[in-house]
Structure 1
Amino acid sequence: MKVVITGGGGFVGGMLGRRLLARAELTGPSGRPERIDRVVLLDVAHPPDAGAGDDARVERVTGDVTNADLLRSAVDPDDVSVFHLASMVSGACEEDFDGALDANLGGVHAVLEAARARSSTPRVVFTSSIAAFGGEAIAGTVSDSTKLTPETTYGTTKAIGELLVNDYTRKGFVDGRSARLPTVVIRPGRPNAAASSWCSGIFREPLGGEEAIVPVDPDIRVPISGYRTLVDNLIRLHEVPGADIGTDRGVNLPAIAVTAREMADALRSVASDRTLGPITHRPDPTVSRIFAGWAQHSSSERATALGLVTDQGLEPIIEAYIEDFL
């Protein structure tokens, strides 16, 4: 079978590609385990150090995820699954409303239409976000039954994407599932335009001897997932039989809720033998406003019942990053 990963040139997409290649099989549209023959990494660019190495099963496709013809060509033949990761990130969405609608709504629609064109009802995993929650609904702990009332353009596009996945699944066009992601850490490289970028920077920069800036209240809680666990859970969610998920295909992925203060303490504990760069609290009104509209606590009881897993604290996440990138 073929597996298509949009956003495959990015960090998570590349990690997912490598994990799938190592796994070597996935449940196909037939409902049975099938050998992975090809992994297509589709993105607007493919950095030299991203992707899934030199494996002969890898095909890199350069182009825009909103290009319907490109998507139909990639999502072919019928024996295919899709992981739709490509997205404009939160901070950029707030700055470019029209671009956010084009990239995030146009992208998910193009992916779903490409999968719909197959006669096999492919499985499609759409990466949504807990940013789909907001308003009064986030006063407590958000769960899969919490009303989606996002307070950012990014969250709005994710909420709409979830509804589309539900409806395309209801119509029998695809076998969709929406993975509602927490903040994913620790991303290597330079900061991006996501409002949550500092959640990786608070570890990455000090480990590199540089200063990390915390732009929000250091005691605000942030639901996070380590990248290894996140990639594993995307695959686990793909493998769950659709009947076990039910009609609502949006699932909160497991997360641990931590503060910037706890992140800094865990880093100093794990990396006590290293000379770390400083961590500075420097409030940013824009980032703080975005975070004020995001949930601080999320429940993943449904995901756990479906077989997804939770990080066992901050320390293993930091240790994994040091092992993989330093």
Structure 2
Amino acid sequence: MHVLVTGAAGMIGRKLADRLARDGALGGTAITMLTLTDIVEPPVPSGFSGSVRRVTTDLAAPGVAASLVSTRPELIFHVAGVVSAEAEMDLEKGYRANLDGTRALLDAIRCVGEAYRPKVVFTSSCAVFGAPFPETIDDDFHLTPLTSYGTQKAMCELMLADYSRRGFLDGVGLRLPAVCVRPGPPNKAASGFFSAIIREPLAGRETTLPVSEAVLHTHASPRATVGFLIHAAGLSREALGPRINITMPGVCCTVGEQIEALRRVAGDAAVARIRRAPDPLVETIVAGWPHRFDAARARALGFVAESSFDEIVRIHVEDDLGGRIPD
């Protein structure tokens, strides 16, 4: 099997490529080739016995998507895109990366011809939903995004569903909650503070909290997120039905509850490294996001997330800190 991963230099893309390389197979079929692409060079995953092709390019540029699918990868994980606050601050960049790149990819697949119908797993976002919200967002809630990022993701969901309906590809879109705890340097996501208030104190660094501790949100770890992608790749068209975009499960908690989970795992000294610094832009963006999801359909289809935020903190320690909290 040939697998293509877009956005392979990003955090989720890297962890996904590592998981694919480590497993070496999907659904009992051996992975013989990995094509990894991003606007910066993706790292080579270790321990993979097959071929690895790395392509450093802009997916939205003319001809790039056609070149990537010319070798007919059977499975495509479309993870590429820019994050929420960046898409809000730079309208043109957000639409180019999130919408134009996706359409270029889907059209390139369509133009290969009827004999080619790959599985496409797309990372969407719960930002496709917009206020006013009920207490819990169920699987039938309407898409009325209140940010450019959410709008771009909603448009891509509709395109993915339409191209799947017309038989050009076999798509599934995953509406991800906040992915937390993200390792590495901070990115430009408005949700970045959810990770920073855990990651930075655990590393012995101070960080800022731009919103109230009462802010409520739903989270899944990078490990669970990669698990969502792998699981989605194995879902049949019959299991999915016509509604191919699915809200993923996660742990719903307040920022204050996140901080208390950090305290239980790492103690008072870690919590003391969080400094309150309200940011009106971040507060406005976060206020337009949904908070709690039922995700009954995803759970019925076999998607699994963590059961507590303590577990999410411990996964970060295990996966990204070598199993121990630095002194």
Counterpart for residue 25 of structure 2: 25
> Within the alignment, does 1:120 sit opposite 2:113 as a pair?
no
Inter-CA distance 275–169: structure 2 relative to 1 (3 Å threshold): closer
Counterpart for residue 131 of structure 1: 127
Counterpart for residue 111 of structure 1: 105
SS at match of 1:58: strand
SS at match of 2:63: helix
Task: Read off the aligned partner of 2:244 and give its amino acid letter.
Answer: R
SS at match of 1:176: strand
Counterpart for residue 30 of structure 1: none
In structure 1, C-alpha distance between the alignment counterparts of 2:286 and 2:268, rounded to whole Å: 33
Q: RMSD across aligned C-alpha pairs, in angstroms?
A: 1.7
Inter-CA distance 53–274: structure 2 relative to 1 (3 Å threshold): farther
Q: How does 1:53-132 map to 2 (within 5 A)?
A: 53=46, 55=48, 57-118=51-112, 119-132=115-128
Counterpart for residue 264 of structure 1: 259
The Cα offsets for residues 108-158 of structure 1, whole Å up to 9 and x where unpaired, read as 10111222234231110111000000122x233112311000000000000
In structure 1, C-alpha distance between the alignment counterparts of 2:77 and 2:5, rounded to whole Å: 5
> Within the alignment, does 1:300 sit opposite 2:295 as a pair?
yes
In structure 1, C-alpha distance between the alignment counterparts of 2:73 and 2:105, rounded to whole Å: 15
Q: Given that residues 79 and 120 in structure 1 are in contact (C-alpha distance below 8 angstroms), is that contact kept between their aligned partners in structure 2?
A: no
In structure 2, C-alpha distance between the alignment counterparts of 1:109 and 1:3, rounded to whole Å: 19
The Cα offsets for residues 70-126 of structure 1, whole Å up to 9 and x where unpaired, read as 222222433521111111111011111122111111011011122223423111011
Q: How does 1:154-233 map to 2 (within 5 A)?
A: 154-233=149-228
Unaligned runs of 5+ in 1: 28-32
Unaligned runs of 5+ in 2: 322-327
Counterpart for residue 313 of structure 1: 308
Counterpart for residue 2 of structure 1: 2
Q: Percent identity?
A: 38
Inter-CA distance 246–208: structure 2 relative to 1 (3 Å threshold): same
Counterpart for residue 143 of structure 2: 148
In structure 1, C-alpha distance between the alignment counterparts of 2:29 and 2:72, rounded to whole Å: 13
Residues matched between the structures, number: 318
Q: Given that residues 121 and 172 in structure 2 are in contact (C-alpha distance below 8 angstroms), is that contact kept between their aligned partners in structure 1?
A: yes
Inter-CA distance 275–298: structure 2 relative to 1 (3 Å threshold): closer
